[in-house]
A and B are shown apart, each in its own frame.
Chain A
């Protein structure tokens, strides 16, 4: 095993082992002490960080711009031409992201260790948290689209679990479910894109698929039409995960969890996952001006919307959440413009800044007082420059638009969710009718379905 392979397995292995240990202890109902959990979390992050730094050193030393850790096929069904290929790619894009992940997860982990000390859900938190870390690493380091999808899913699952952390109350569970739902839309789009890619190129590896050379250079070997479809699907996936328009509504909902988990979601890591996907698939987009225009407009729209929404929020966490979307929108614009390195620096800088802001959000009152004292008076509030030119009624309408978060959730609920549920209700009714016919008329059946419906309504 070469030095690179060794470091690479540290990066991937340590967090996975950490996750397995925490998971097993829960599964076997032999919970570790809080001290032990803390140690496991710290060691897995620390070892991973050392590995990542090691690879960075090696890459700088040798001048290689790509290193690959190939674990071969996880599943292979020869006759069906199916294989699940586990491959990790260390390059100029993934390595900075991985380093950032380790630093942030490490810091926020040690924050949470004190913050959550003695809480009933301490173990649960760290289990989800390490699952989140593993998911992120898989997503960032993925060399194949299936690996990326695997990481992507883990991140989604652990996010939903952490949002619903306080599961004894109703709101966190509802909101966790909502976020999970939005993620499913993104996942669906992603999955379709992945299948299409496979279908078109016969490969899931980024290296061969979109680029013959190391990121960021690359050539796409697909025809124009396929590029459009795949590009669009990936854009939907990225928008869902990064909370771009029209999916922005999930962000404030994600703050139901404890502060540190909020910090990692919309503050720092998972919100940038969509942007990362677009960066990774950058070569694909550079082929098509149309796609780039589309991407740019999506970013612009999100940025403008989020800047407005952020200004009217009256609670800290929502304001910060929308501020994050605003920056992610700009990052997407940068990607569309081909400023990939700027976008990368932007992502990393933004992640650090926002995490710090979120971690100290509960100090808001004190900070405000300090500012007031320094300035020597009340802090002035205003309105955006363009608003003052509007009539009073228009002002109120725009204000409402911003405060109601662009009515996006209401629209999704009205136009996507309800028809969806309605459709399946109808299906259920038809099915029941058929069943009744097949069984002979059974009154018990009917009762059961009525009860089922009631339960669903109460959900």
Chain B
């Protein structure tokens, strides 16, 4: 084989001293890992800051670095911001204010004539600066009114001033206005052209070619990655498969690298040439006894990568398939819970494999070129990038170069806006032109987008802060509320709580992280495995099982057996339909499938009802209980992580109850206290887990709520709490419940244990809660295009139920989309504010917190990372859905049970889908904390992790004084008192009146129904 022999001949040409050191490669890999997406297997979706690797930089710098690294947009496009400006979402005031703040004292520097930098930039923001290729500009100038009339947006007084001065200069008193205008503009354009000609080249940003493939692609249009990816993606799918394929890769216990050698090691004659090159290099590696690390070093040598370029080269090699590389790292480092985690060193193996394939494909591409090119010789020799670039006459693309005409056109437009007369302009010297032009290019589109973005955020921020200033007076506590509920802090519960408060003013609501400080591994009666129900940063230490109640255990055993049989049968059917012989039988009977299909698509809700009815035969009854109590000798029962405990001791229970009630500042108790865990269920939704409770690590929080209620009701726990000074009245009963945020259904746990004395109250409360969830469904429906306005609460409830059961529904609910604020403080400060499901609400009572704010510290340690993760993931998936997000959901294809690809074969797509974020407004989340600024600063000082997020501006921060209406805003290390604009917050008598019939975002409003517990009662229903 001629090619191959030539290929080998160069292997040992260069002395070994050119080899990059192993340590350096290791270091480069470690470094590169930071830039990989940190999304794990999709069954457990946890929201992360997409740019977590850049958190050490200020936000505005980080997004630009991200743009350079991933080629992804840092902000919305300029057109998008301009349309937001057009429709008033960004106002002049916002722009002026943010621009002024950004420029500081530098804003008053003169740029030219009397124009300050501030004035120049202000005009560039307010009015679009158009541009285009020379031909287009020439056409525009000669065929339109550009040289006859002033730009339509140009301020009247400015154009008048210019005309007057030109009239003076030309001594053309009698000239008609029309002629004067065209004379002035022509003159102006000519001067601008001359001036622009005096200015040196101005370059825009340069994106470097980082890999060999980039050079080949840019100069010849040959993408040698595409066939590598085709092979690699299939192979990666097999290696990482978590149990989808019936026939798995043989010898899966071997390392990734060895599997690759087995798989690609033999090439048949009909294989394409480059694959034969791959198998040749494999046998060479084998003969030389190279490990994967050795192979990387060798490949880098062959590819001519030198020490100084190693880091960047490895980074960009990983980033050519970021999703898969990231998933391998997650499987290797962070996925002990999956059926088939990856072994240590998998990512290193992957790099070795990738480089082998890249090498072969590149060489193959060069060898395939026609003789005439003279490039064929290159295929045989060394493959350094320098040599390749030289041979291909490739130059780093110098971005978009502005021509004289383009520069002139920009100047021409600005002159009209800023009143630069042709006479003034023609007096400018070359250096002044240069200065003017560089001032203009210093405020390029990226800078403009940055200011637009700040203004976009400001607009919403001042709305919130004004509303809080105007609204949040502290009122004395009134009588004991009718009942109390604790929900998750989730933004989706905001509307549920608000609607409940509107329906029944004598209800008090609290928000706490939805695992209710009960971290556990949980397994329900019908589950096969334990799942962790707590934030991902916490490692649960306890196992909790759901078991049938004694009287039901025999029935449940039989049901479990029936489920097992049915499950096995259904699995056989599924697999069978894909095989030869069994497939015939299933297909011949396949017409039966037409019934469920037609039914499911045309009447999803009815079908699911019927299915539930049928399933009731094998479904476990509600008659279960949780094994939360530690039994003697039950230590290290399950051994997932060594010695873990089954159930909690009473002391541990008391700790958890005390902790939660202390955190939310609950000091008085109604006779009924509900705790709502939440989750979401939908069909045909690979991202389903992302819709669940973030505080439960992408699980459903029902069991946590149930466990908490059981603990808080336990008399032994209460006795222990009493000793610690926490008195829960004897007649107070806790009820655990589960709120499905997609179908707005509520399930109550253990109500059979409710003492008869509370039955009536429970039923009343349930009725109120039912009313609240239907009102909530109405409010949610306003966002859904397919939901008509004017639905009754019952219809709305049916609508959202159908959504959660509809196979065809790509938007079962909108999850955290539109999230923008997180309020940490007493509910009384926000109660009665219509926050449009955009605010996380964490209950915290500053008056009860101790010295050094231990409670607030604890809360912020949990809330800031979690909420900022959600907010930033939504931010990035929205501003660049293709690169940071996972694109449209419609062509998604689940692969290896790990993630989704687009269509037949693509990178694993991470981030959020277009359907999830389409209504989101990308903004950094605004935390408003009810505490004095000084104490918040102290907390930040003690928690470098939080401080980094806040100081670098990845979140916005403000405080609300516990004693007064004073709001302070955090800015570069200190809090500045906020002065309200004094704009009246709109008032409505109910939420429904507030949202009316609009699908758009709404500003914060006040709902002026009786809003505190102690206030006047009644009159609402």
Taking Cβ atoms with an 8 Å cutoff, the residues of A that contact B are 103, 107-108, 110-119, 165-166, 169, 171-172, 175, 252-253, 255-260, 303-304, 307-308, 310-320, 322-323, 326-327, 330, 342, 345-346, 348-357, 359-379, 381-384, 387, 392-393, 395-397, 399-400, 402-404, 407, 410-411, 414, 454-455, 457-458
Say whether A315 contacts B901, CB under 8 Å. Answer: yes
Q: Which residues of B contact A316 (CB under 8 A)?
A: 244, 893-895
**A384 to nearest B CB, angstroms?**
6
Say whether A257 contacts B602, CB under 8 Å. Answer: no
Say whether B588 contacts A349, CB under 8 Å. Answer: yes
For this complex, 6 residue pairs linking A to B, each with C-beta atoms less than 8 Å apart, are A114-B810, A259-B684, A314-B895, A315-B244, A315-B904, A376-B560
**A348 to nearest B CB, angstroms?**
6
Q: Which residues of A contact B894 (CB under 8 A)?
A: 315-316, 361-362, 364-365
Say whether A392 contacts B808, CB under 8 Å. Answer: no
Q: Which residues of A contact B528 (CB under 8 A)?
A: 372-373, 375-378
Name B597's closest neighbour in chain A (CB-CB): A356
Taking Cβ atoms with an 8 Å cutoff, the residues of B that contact A are 42-43, 220-222, 234-235, 237-238, 241, 243-251, 262-263, 266, 270-272, 339, 526-529, 560, 563-564, 566-568, 570-571, 574, 577-580, 583-584, 586-594, 596-598, 600-602, 683-686, 688, 785-786, 806-810, 888, 890-897, 901-906, 918
Say whether A314 contacts B810, CB under 8 Å. Answer: no
In the bound complex, what is the Cα–Cα distance between A116 and B785 (angstroms)?
Answer: 12
Q: Which residues of A contact B809 (CB under 8 A)?
A: 114-115
- Sorted nearest first, the 4 A-B pairs with minimum C-beta distance are A374-B567, A458-B221, A349-B590, A353-B590
Say whether A359 contacts B593, CB under 8 Å. Answer: no
In the bound complex, what is the Cα–Cα distance between A167 and B894 (angstroms)?
Answer: 21
Cβ contact of A315, chosen from B43, B272, B526, B895, cutoff 8 A: B895
**B42 to nearest A CB, angstroms?**
7
Given A166-B888, A307-B580, A326-B583, are A346 and B601 also a contact pair (CB < 8 Å)? no
In the bound complex, what is the Cα–Cα distance between A159 and B622 (angstroms)?
Answer: 49
Say whether B237 contacts A327, CB under 8 Å. Answer: no
Say whether A311 contacts B590, CB under 8 Å. Answer: no
Name A456's closest neighbour in chain B (CB-CB): B221
In the bound complex, what is the Cα–Cα distance between A330 and B890 (angstroms)?
Answer: 31
The CB with the most chain A CB atoms within 10 A, among B222, B237, B601, is that of B601
**B1009 to nearest A CB, angstroms?**
35
Q: Which residues of A contact B563 (CB under 8 A)?
A: 373-374
In the bound complex, what is the Cα–Cα distance between A66 and B629 (angstroms)?
Answer: 75
Q: Which residues of A contact B892 (CB under 8 A)?
A: 362
**B72 to nearest A CB, angstroms?**
16
In the bound complex, what is the Cα–Cα distance between A313 and B220 (angstroms)?
Answer: 34
**B376 to nearest A CB, angstroms?**
15
Q: Which residues of A contact B250 (CB under 8 A)?
A: 383, 387, 392, 395-396, 399
In the bound complex, what is the Cα–Cα distance between A253 and B891 (angstroms)?
Answer: 12
Say whether A403 contacts B904, CB under 8 Å. Answer: no
Cβ contact of A371, chosen from B529, B570, B891, cutoff 8 A: B570
**A219 to nearest B CB, angstroms?**
30
**A294 to nearest B CB, angstroms?**
20
Name B259's closest neighbour in chain A (CB-CB): A396
In the bound complex, what is the Cα–Cα distance between A324 and B159 (angstroms)?
Answer: 71
In the bound complex, what is the Cα–Cα distance between A322 and B247 (angstroms)?
Answer: 14
Interface of B is mostly: loop
Q: Which residues of B contact A383 (CB under 8 A)?
A: 246-248, 250
Name B689's closest neighbour in chain A (CB-CB): A365
Say whether A307 contacts B220, CB under 8 Å. Answer: no
In the bound complex, what is the Cα–Cα distance between A206 and B490 (angstroms)?
Answer: 67
Q: Which residues of A contact B905 (CB under 8 A)?
A: 171, 252
In the bound complex, what is the Cα–Cα distance between A111 and B598 (angstroms)?
Answer: 10
Say whether B579 contacts A307, CB under 8 Å. Answer: yes
Given A107-B602, A357-B577, A363-B685, are A410 and B270 also a contact pair (CB < 8 Å)? yes
Say whether B591 contacts A365, CB under 8 Å. Answer: no
Say whether B890 contacts A258, CB under 8 Å. Answer: yes
Name A454's closest neighbour in chain B (CB-CB): B221
In the bound complex, what is the Cα–Cα distance between A400 and B261 (angstroms)?
Answer: 12
Q: Which residues of B contact A370 (CB under 8 A)?
A: 567
Say whether B526 contacts A373, CB under 8 Å. Answer: yes
**B906 to nearest A CB, angstroms?**
6
Q: Which residues of A contact B566 (CB under 8 A)?
A: 374
Name B591's closest neighbour in chain A (CB-CB): A349
**B570 to nearest A CB, angstroms?**
7
Name A310's closest neighbour in chain B (CB-CB): B578
The CB with the most chain B CB atoms within 10 A, among A108, A172, A404, is that of A404
Q: Which residues of B contact A107 (CB under 8 A)?
A: 597-598, 601-602
In the bound complex, what is the Cα–Cα distance between A312 and B806 (angstroms)?
Answer: 30
Q: Which residues of A contact B580 (CB under 8 A)?
A: 303-304, 307, 326, 330
In the bound complex, what is the Cα–Cα distance between A54 and B143 (angstroms)?
Answer: 63
The CB with the most chain B CB atoms within 10 A, among A259, A351, A407, is that of A259
Cβ contact of B247, chosen from A111, A257, A259, A382, cutoff 8 A: A382
Given A326-B580, A365-B43, A366-B688, are A311 and B807 also a contact pair (CB < 8 Å)? no
Given A304-B580, A364-B894, are A373 and B589 also a contact pair (CB < 8 Å)? no
Q: Which residues of A contact B560 (CB under 8 A)?
A: 376
Q: Which residues of A contact B263 (CB under 8 A)?
A: 396, 399-400
Cβ contact of A320, chosen from B578, B598, B602, B683, cutoff 8 A: B578
**B914 to nearest A CB, angstroms?**
9
In the bound complex, what is the Cα–Cα distance between A330 and B270 (angstroms)?
Answer: 29
**B905 to nearest A CB, angstroms?**
8
Name A402's closest neighbour in chain B (CB-CB): B247
Given A327-B587, A375-B564, are A381 and B807 also a contact pair (CB < 8 Å)? no
Q: Which residues of A contact B237 (CB under 8 A)?
A: 314-315
**B342 to nearest A CB, angstroms?**
15
The CB with the most chain A CB atoms within 10 A, among B262, B263, B590, is that of B590
Q: Which residues of A contact B571 (CB under 8 A)?
A: 371, 375, 379
Q: Which residues of B contact A318 (CB under 8 A)?
A: 893, 904
In the bound complex, what is the Cα–Cα distance between A164 and B934 (angstroms)?
Answer: 59
Starting from the known contacts A166-B888, A318-B893, 15 additional A-B residue pairs (CB-CB under 8 Å) come to A165-B891, A252-B904, A252-B905, A255-B904, A259-B891, A260-B808, A315-B893, A326-B580, A326-B583, A346-B588, A353-B587, A359-B597, A362-B685, A400-B263, A410-B270
In the bound complex, what is the Cα–Cα distance between A447 and B590 (angstroms)?
Answer: 60
Say whether A457 contacts B221, CB under 8 Å. Answer: yes
Q: Which residues of B contact A307 (CB under 8 A)?
A: 578-580, 583
Given A356-B593, A382-B247, A454-B220, are A253 and B786 also a contact pair (CB < 8 Å)? no
Cβ contact of A119, chosen from B238, B272, B586, B890, cutoff 8 A: B890
Q: Which residues of B contact A397 (CB under 8 A)?
A: 266
Say whether B43 contacts A363, CB under 8 Å. Answer: no
In the bound complex, what is the Cα–Cα distance between A374 and B597 (angstroms)?
Answer: 23
**A316 to nearest B CB, angstroms?**
5
Say whether B564 contacts A376, CB under 8 Å. Answer: yes
In the bound complex, what is the Cα–Cα distance between A404 and B571 (angstroms)?
Answer: 26
Q: Which residues of B contact A349 (CB under 8 A)?
A: 587-593
**A390 to nearest B CB, angstroms?**
9
Say whether B251 contacts A111, CB under 8 Å. Answer: no
Say whether B594 contacts A346, CB under 8 Å. Answer: no
In the bound complex, what is the Cα–Cα distance between A383 and B250 (angstroms)?
Answer: 9
In the bound complex, what is the Cα–Cα distance between A314 and B807 (angstroms)?
Answer: 22
**B360 to nearest A CB, angstroms?**
15
Cβ contact of A312, chosen from B247, B527, B570, cutoff 8 A: B247
Say whether A403 contacts B238, CB under 8 Å. Answer: yes
Say whether B598 contacts A103, CB under 8 Å. Answer: yes
**A355 to nearest B CB, angstroms?**
6
Q: Which residues of B contact A454 (CB under 8 A)?
A: 220-221
Cβ contact of A345, chosen from B220, B588, B685, B902, cutoff 8 A: B588
**B754 to nearest A CB, angstroms?**
29
Cβ contact of A314, chosen from B241, B262, B602, cutoff 8 A: B241
The CB with the most chain B CB atoms within 10 A, among A304, A307, A316, A365, is that of A365
**B952 to nearest A CB, angstroms?**
34
Say whether B270 contacts A171, CB under 8 Å. Answer: no
Q: Which residues of A contact B243 (CB under 8 A)?
A: 368, 378-379, 381
